[in-house]
Chain A
Amino acid sequence: MESDTARTVDPLIDLRGAGRHYEIGGRTLKALDEVSLTVSAGEFVVILGPSGSGKTTLLNLIGALDTPTVGSVVIAGEDLAESSRADLFALRRHRIGFIFQTFNLFPGLTALENVRFGGDIAGRSDAAEAAMGVLGRVGLGDRADHFPHELSGGEQQRVAIARALVAGNPVVLADEPTGELDFQTGVQILELLHEVTHTAGTAVLIVTHNREIARVADRIVELSSGRIESDRPNEPADMAELHW
């Protein structure tokens, strides 16, 4: 499968002096200065930083939702600067899965259909079965026919995780995935995400400003004012010991 070959590209994510600058009223605002960062398959990275430090901007560059104004972003061997609009859309379909702070499930679709959407657009012919399988793994096998409004926040985010995973894409990006959830649920979500991605060798990047949550990471990258402050491996803590 395509994503398996993609997974063998190393590093999977390669930022070389990538930055995103905005020109506002003649002044240059460096949302992201010049960042160099590589992430390999199977890594579970938490990006930590105060509000406004450029976390979301970084994630958007990796997710090909935004293009760098300086430097380059290479995802699975593909240099985004040289990619067409259509290429970027294809890259997102086949390489990347998104998890959002506000879940962004489609309210007209059931949990199963929402998950299936991820498989459908990646072109998986077995999207229906795959969706059921992943929904089972996030523990919602019995809620498949429920609509988003019938699910709790935590459940909705689990559906969103399933949607991001079902395509089997090598990169999963999550921007403040626990921001809408209570601490306990947030921890459970991250634990689940860790668990279901670990075995598949998926590279996961999670953005948060919550230090406590960052402790589940294999690696912690800290941002400040658009620059990387630190980038260090981390020994995942026992989830049970986490507290605010």
Chain B
Amino acid sequence: MAIGLLLAGGVGLAAGLGSMRDWRVDSNDASFGALNVHDLRVQAEQGSFIPTGALLDAAEAIPDADEITAASERLILPTQITAVSGDGRPVTTPGQIVGVETGPARSVDGVEVTGPPVDAVGLKSGEWQATDRPRTTAVLDPQYADGNGIVPPARVELAGGASVEVTGLGTSPETFVVQGPGGAFSGESEFSPVFVPLHSAQRLTGRPDRVNDLALVLRPGSDHAAVARQLEREIDRKLPGLGVTVTDTDDIDGYRILYDDAENDQQLFDVFAFLILAGATFGAFNLISRTVEAQRREIGVGMALGLEPRRLAIRPMLMGLQIAVVGVLFGVVVGLAVNEWLRGLLIDQLPLPIVKTDLRSGTFAQRAAIGFLIPLLAAAWPVMRGVRVTPIEAIRSGFRSSRGGGLAPLLAHVPLPGGSLAQMPARNVVRAPRRTALTVLASGAVVAVAVSMSGMLDSFQATIDRNTEETLKTAPERLTVTLDRFYDERSPTVATVTGSDAVATADEKLVIPAKLRSGDEEIEVSLNTLPTGKPVWTPTVSSGHLPVRPDEVLLAESAASDLGVEAGQSLTLVHPRSTGPGRFESAETEVTVSGTHPDPFRFPVYMASASSSVFGLPGVVNSLDLVPARDLTGDAAKRSLAGLPGIASVESASALGESLEQGLEDFASIIRVVVAIAVVLVLLIAFNSTAINADERAREHATMFAYGLPLRSVLRLAVVESLIMGVLATAIGLILGVAILGWVVNVNLKEVLPELGTVTSLSSGSIILAALAGVGAMALAPVLTVRRLRRMDVPSTLRVVE
């Protein structure tokens, strides 16, 4: 029964976790499909606008125009959103106006789909009454609304003071995963798209009859790259001087992230599920084969009596079958429970309009089949060995007590200090090496899961801590102010902020999104200029020096290693350059690495303040680093600054780390459940193993009792023996766990979260947990046999002739 439960735990977890990728891929497919995600997207260079219809005309003029099944023009511009939150305070965050065609709503897969024919808007709640309304109606991101306590109908204010009426909440394929100012790490409540009808967007942004974006859906199987080339050529011909970039579905960050995550997370789950299943398998195999082994003599007797081997095999095989049935039944129950829990988690966490979590009967059947076969194999193995032994050998008395000593002879030559009793536990451990190995591997594998899982949490925590330490080192209350646009550093807007009562000191800086390229490697970064003089904060330099010349950059260590550069080497900076008010072009500048900083986030890059001329923005700033006045907390300063003109957002300098920490919480719950299951599995393995051990050693124990060895000494022998196995299991678990942790951090996480240079870390707490689970459970398990030992009928046990 206990063996069945052990198997059930492993099979159930494996089956339950096994469905995640399918569910997520299905949900992705359904969501992107229902909303008609674009195959190609044409984006005008930042700051350039085209008359409505011109891009569509160009698209219709290409040779492969037949391949285009749907197209829609859009006007997409950054803005800020000021909303009155649930508790009555105004919150201002960056956002994006997305002006799109509107059309009739239709229902797909239970989701209300509205807006344009390409990259449509899937409504989560409310509606989008886009027409015939005096005021502009808008749809906001549900997670943003949730985070800021906005419930439609509500009114939000956009940059420039215009207000729109939020009538619904919803997302479109490009905004399933919302990327705020902090890249993938900004909280979902810190940024939102604002879907408004195209003409409203044009009016709100003062760009009448202008668009800057075209989304296209192509016929299935068409050559995307060819169509993209034709588009570029045609636009160049029809709209000379207009710079456009054509991207495809894979270039949508959210698209890539959602599919990659599904894959990478599954890899992770697979590793853990496999380990737990392996642990349960080793354990079950071991326990069953030992139980059947104990009946080998009976098998021998039966054979001596001329019974057919087939009939002799029935009893042990029935036991195996019984365990298999229990294991699979409970395994399916456990699996369904794990499924149910993950389903809730997915529906809660996946930012998709459609979440598909159908029962994966295939995955279940496959895992259940494994769970069914293991006990049968485990029972069959010793039966086969039993029937192969000659009857005479099998019924010879003392057959078992005098059977081989395993590897014990090896240890005979390394006698431990102390008498015969001191030798016994270690000898017993090596006496049956195969069995010991199975038990140790079983618990080791499971301990490894606990170690690597909690190590993951530790690593995240260590990474966040390192980021917090770096960002807050000199000024714990430091705040970062994002201005709503570029300002001259001597402008009154900047002066109002720096001169505010709430501010003790402030540094102006320029924050520019850019890319760094070295060879084939290219990463996205956020450039920050460092103020001259005595700054509020400067990054720690872990190698090289702070940037001095305008063409020097200080990179994160992880960025340097990903790009394969070190201090003194040069690389290409791809960045926007101002060509006039509100106009930018893309430019490339050769820069030299001045050194590295230890922030685990990969994207912060620092340059000297003189570098602002590289971007064509000398003396221009768009962000401030500041320390609140002495008697103010960061929160108080935040509140008094938020009302000032020109401020887009005010955040703690460690806001990124904090939002990551919050994201970690969701993940942590999965991990804690798996760790808990792992610990329970170790306990099950340990208790089962010692219970069987106690049976097998009954005669030895009886002999010891006959010779007057007290109960506590016999128990101590059992505890020491079990402890040795526990230590071995823990050691294996730690080694394996650390190896898995290394893989997770350096391979898996590197793919899932490239922007995060995760620090590999294993806390003493996790090691203690592993030791408690491994050593503790194993050492304590024999104590549970104390009642049995105390009540042992010594004469009867000795009387039994084997």
Contact = CB atoms under 8 A, between A and B. Distances in A.
A44 interface: no
B402 A156 contact: yes
B397 A109 contact: no
B580 interface: no
A109 B408 CA distance: 8
B424 A108 contact: yes
B795 interface: yes
A65 B402 contact: no
Contacts of A153: 398
B424 A109 contact: yes
Interface stretch (B125-133, B560-568, B700-708): B700-708
B787 interface: no
Contact of A89 (B398, B405, B708): B708
Given A127-B419, A145-B412, A149-B403, A118 B398 contact: no
B402 A107 contact: yes
Contact of A86 (B403, B428, B710): B710
Interface string A92-112: 111010101111111111100
A158 to B, nearest CB: 14
A147 B412 contact: yes
A66 B799 CA distance: 13
Nearest to B703: A104
B794 A65 contact: yes
B420 A120 contact: yes
B613 interface: no
A114 interface: yes
B431 interface: yes
Contacts of B408: 107-108, 147
A128 B419 CA distance: 8
Contact of A109 (B402, B423, B709): B423
Contacts of A224: none
Contact of A121 (B699, B707, B802): B707
Interface string B399-434: 001111100110010000001110110011001000
A163 to B, nearest CB: 8
B703 A106 contact: yes
B801 interface: yes
Nearest to A128: B419
A36 interface: no
B405 A104 contact: no
Contacts of A63: 706
Interface string A123-165: 0000110000000000000000101111001001000000000
A147 B419 CA distance: 16
Contacts of A114: 420
Contact of B423 (A66, A92, A103, A108): A108
Nearest to A96: B708
Contacts of B735: none
A186 to B, nearest CB: 14
Contacts of B370: none
Contact of B708 (A66, A92, A107, A128): A92
B350 interface: no
A108 B799 CA distance: 22
Contact of A116 (B412, B419, B428, B802): B419
Query: For this complex, into which size category does the number of interface residues on chain B fall?
Result: 35 or more
A112 B405 CA distance: 15
B427 A89 contact: no
A214 interface: no
A66 B792 CA distance: 12
Contacts of A210: none
B30 interface: no
B783 interface: no
Contact of B802 (A65, A93, A102): A102
A149 B704 CA distance: 19
Contact of B700 (A92, A94, A104): A104
Given A102-B401, A103-B398, A104-B700, A92 B801 contact: no
B419 A120 contact: yes
Among A96, A100, A128, residue most surrounded by chain B Cβ atoms (within 10 Å): A100
A197 B420 CA distance: 24
Given A63-B706, A104-B699, A118-B707, A110 B402 contact: no
Contact of B420 (A60, A92, A113, A149): A113
A106 B706 contact: no
A105 B700 CA distance: 8
Contact of B401 (A56, A105, A122): A105
A91 interface: yes
Interface string B785-802: 000000000110011011
B405 A147 contact: yes
B451 to A, nearest CB: 31
Given A107-B431, A108-B424, A120-B421, A100 B402 contact: no
Interface string B23-48: 00000000000000000000000000
Interface in A161-202: 180
Contacts of B402: 103, 105, 107, 148-149, 156
Contacts of A121: 421, 704, 707-709
A60 B702 CA distance: 13
Nearest to A108: B427
Contacts of A92: 706-708
A63 B708 CA distance: 10
Given A107-B405, A156-B402, A98 B706 contact: yes
Among B403, B420, B706, B795, residue most surrounded by chain A Cβ atoms (within 10 Å): B420
B717 to A, nearest CB: 10
B678 to A, nearest CB: 31
A215 B421 CA distance: 38
Interface of B: 397-398, 401-405, 408-409, 412, 419-421, 423-424, 427-428, 431, 699-700, 702-710, 794-795, 798-799, 801-802
Lowest 10 A-B CB distances belong to which pairs? Answer: A93-B708, A108-B427, A92-B708, A120-B419, A117-B420, A147-B405, A104-B703, A113-B420, A116-B420, A89-B708
7 contacts: A56-B795, A89-B710, A98-B707, A106-B424, A113-B420, A149-B402, A149-B403
Given A104-B703, A153-B398, 19 more contacts: A66-B795, A92-B706, A100-B703, A103-B398, A104-B401, A104-B699, A104-B700, A106-B420, A106-B700, A108-B405, A109-B420, A109-B424, A114-B420, A116-B419, A116-B420, A121-B704, A148-B405, A149-B405, A156-B398
